[in-house]
Structure 1
């Protein structure tokens, strides 16, 4: 499944599955975020904004935390909450506590916000809301992880503070509801002889392309009901885009642009297997495991 030099090869092997539930396997979903800037999965909604200097983005009054994914192309901005003002000027992950908040934008560029999919201010606004009128039976519903230590505060985790480490898979941060993995930039296409097809038992993966172009290879396993079988998919998406990959589809994504390519993987709830690897989750001291 993974090459020996892939850090994921050291993850604990999942126990052998029991009899399959027979529930239908959902179709993968693919979105150009310029055309459809608000999309969702079972537990998380993603809002992509092509922000401009002077914009005032209202996040609403949220029941859960807000996460802001900041890339090298993102503008400087200030997060405004009852706890004060926090200015952000470099890539990383911002976590905003529950309650009312706004974002004052100081330049031009993309911002990506993550909220829980059940948030009243956002749950009906996703372009694909109709795909989740009923919960997907193969996806575990979100149960928030423990509250962060130190109480309610805006927390910022800059990527510049994280040295490269080939023994760690990307740069991973978690909140009570989300896990965000900033994968390294890749120059040029991925070697087609070194892909990593794999599957997940009960959670979706959102693969957010922020630079370059990717081909998402998806294979839906065959169940007894052949009317649900699908042809293999090989879907090419530019950036900004997101692929929502359902369990237990076999999947792998290949960078295909001759320039710089970058993916950011998003999960909700946080992954227990990644969290169980010492040193992988970079803000684990703030966000304890259950």
Structure 2
């Protein structure tokens, strides 16, 4: 991994020896406005895309829209990046009114998000263990066979206070040494980066890789360039050329392991990127103070029990 020494990730502990690579998966980009929505309803249009362990639902909404799930099997996240939107959320364990510029972790069971004011975007992040959502995804066919190099999914421990509706601020003031705005649940993690008003300093790029999990980069505003390089192995038959993927909002890019990657916001701003992982990342979680709701969601015990 290569980080500038001002990047908090430069202090992450070294990874364990990587598993052997026998094949590679492609990176995938879905630019939502270039394809028809996956579903429409009164006051909303929704596009779905997936990774191996997560499904991303991008919804454009107006007042009166209702985004509902019945008997949902596990937690999911919902967040409201447009500050003018407010919503009422009802769940099987907890309700809230006038939810605005926040992230919600929604408990299993029935849930409903009703838009009460504003027009814009609602994002939901689900695990891929709901077949109906996985099948609605634009790239569902790509995951008929699990992608190589991704570790088997293992949920993290249940929250000590039980499953319930939880709300967290979307925007948090930065502190020295903390990377982004990280929240986790039992099955996923998001990093709510701030909006970038100008391109990233080309002298402070951060090429790195992940041994055994995908990264989903969600572009909400502007344009980004993803630079991706697949390491050479002893088997030349699986070598791949370097990729430069330009993606425009709204879109997602799924970056497979163990591809080396880094991203750059492109002029003109503003540009807004959010990273999504499933399950939560251990290396980020081990850094004190990085995960802002760590007290609500404990890490697995070192012995796996």
**TM-score, normalised on structure 2?**
0.89
Q: Do the aligned residues in 1 keep the contact of 2:85 with 2:101 (CA within 8 Å)?
A: no
Where 1:112 maps in the other structure, the secondary structure is: strand
Q: Do the aligned residues in 1 keep the contact of 2:29 with 2:252 (CA within 8 Å)?
A: yes
User: Superposition pairs for residues 237-248 of structure 1, below 5 Å?
Assistant: 237-248=247-258
The CA distance in 2 between the partners of 1:228 and 1:60, in whole Å, is: 43
Where 1:124 maps in the other structure, the secondary structure is: helix
State yes or no: 1:7 paired with 2:8. Answer: yes
State yes or no: 1:137 paired with 2:148. Answer: yes
Q: Among 106, 120, 125, which residue is 1:109 paired with?
A: 120
Measure how far apart 1:189 and its partner are.
1.2
- 5+ residue gaps, structure 2: 38-46, 301-305
**TM-score, normalised on structure 1?**
0.94
Alpha-carbon spacing, 1:200–1:104, altered in 2? closer, same or farther (3 Å): same
User: Superposition pairs for residues 189-200 of structure 1, below 5 Å?
Assistant: 189-200=199-210
Where 2:202 maps in the other structure, the secondary structure is: coil
Where 2:133 maps in the other structure, the secondary structure is: coil
The CA distance in 2 between the partners of 1:253 and 1:28, in whole Å, is: 13
Measure how far apart 1:240 and its partner are.
1.2
Measure how far apart 1:232 and its partner are.
1.2
Measure how far apart 1:233 and its partner are.
1.1
Measure how far apart 1:115 and its partner are.
1.0
Measure how far apart 1:13 and its partner are.
1.0
Give the RMSD, CA atoms, in angstroms. 1.6
Q: Deviations over 1:123-172 (max 9, x none)?
A: 21111111111122310122111111222211000135x32213100010
Q: Aligned residue for 1:286?
A: 296
Measure how far apart 1:73 and its partner are.
4.8
Measure how far apart 1:16 and its partner are.
3.6
- 5+ residue gaps, structure 1: none
Q: Do the aligned residues in 1 keep the contact of 2:228 with 2:262 (CA within 8 Å)?
A: yes
State yes or no: 1:184 paired with 2:194. Answer: yes
The CA distance in 1 between the partners of 2:159 and 2:248, in whole Å, is: 36
Q: Aligned residue for 1:83?
A: 93
The CA distance in 2 between the partners of 1:257 and 1:237, in whole Å, is: 13
Where 1:47 maps in the other structure, the secondary structure is: strand
Q: Aligned residue for 2:285?
A: 275
Q: Among 166, 170, 186, which residue is 2:176 paired with?
A: 166
User: Superposition pairs for residues 201-216 of structure 1, below 5 Å?
Assistant: 201-216=211-226
The CA distance in 1 between the partners of 2:93 and 2:279, in whole Å, is: 26
Q: Do the aligned residues in 1 keep the contact of 2:58 with 2:122 (CA within 8 Å)?
A: yes
Q: Do the aligned residues in 1 keep the contact of 2:82 with 2:121 (CA within 8 Å)?
A: no
Measure how far apart 1:253 and its partner are.
0.5
Q: Deviations over 1:17-42 (max 9, x none)?
A: 36x242x1100000112336201101
Measure how far apart 1:74 and its partner are.
6.3
Aligned length: 287
The CA distance in 1 between the partners of 2:175 and 2:86, in whole Å, is: 27
Q: Do the aligned residues in 1 keep the contact of 2:197 with 2:270 (CA within 8 Å)?
A: yes
Q: Aligned residue for 1:33?
A: 32
Q: Do the aligned residues in 1 keep the contact of 2:83 with 2:100 (CA within 8 Å)?
A: no
The CA distance in 1 between the partners of 2:140 and 2:95, in whole Å, is: 33
Flag as ranges the 4+ runs of structure 1 deviating above 4 A: none
Q: Aligned residue for 1:96?
A: 106
Measure how far apart 1:88 and its partner are.
4.4
Q: Do the aligned residues in 2 keep the contact of 1:55 with 1:105 (CA within 8 Å)?
A: yes
Q: Aligned residue for 1:227?
A: 237
Q: Do the aligned residues in 2 keep the contact of 1:138 with 1:247 (CA within 8 Å)?
A: yes
Measure how far apart 1:272 and its partner are.
0.2
Q: Do the aligned residues in 1 keep the contact of 2:82 with 2:120 (CA within 8 Å)?
A: no
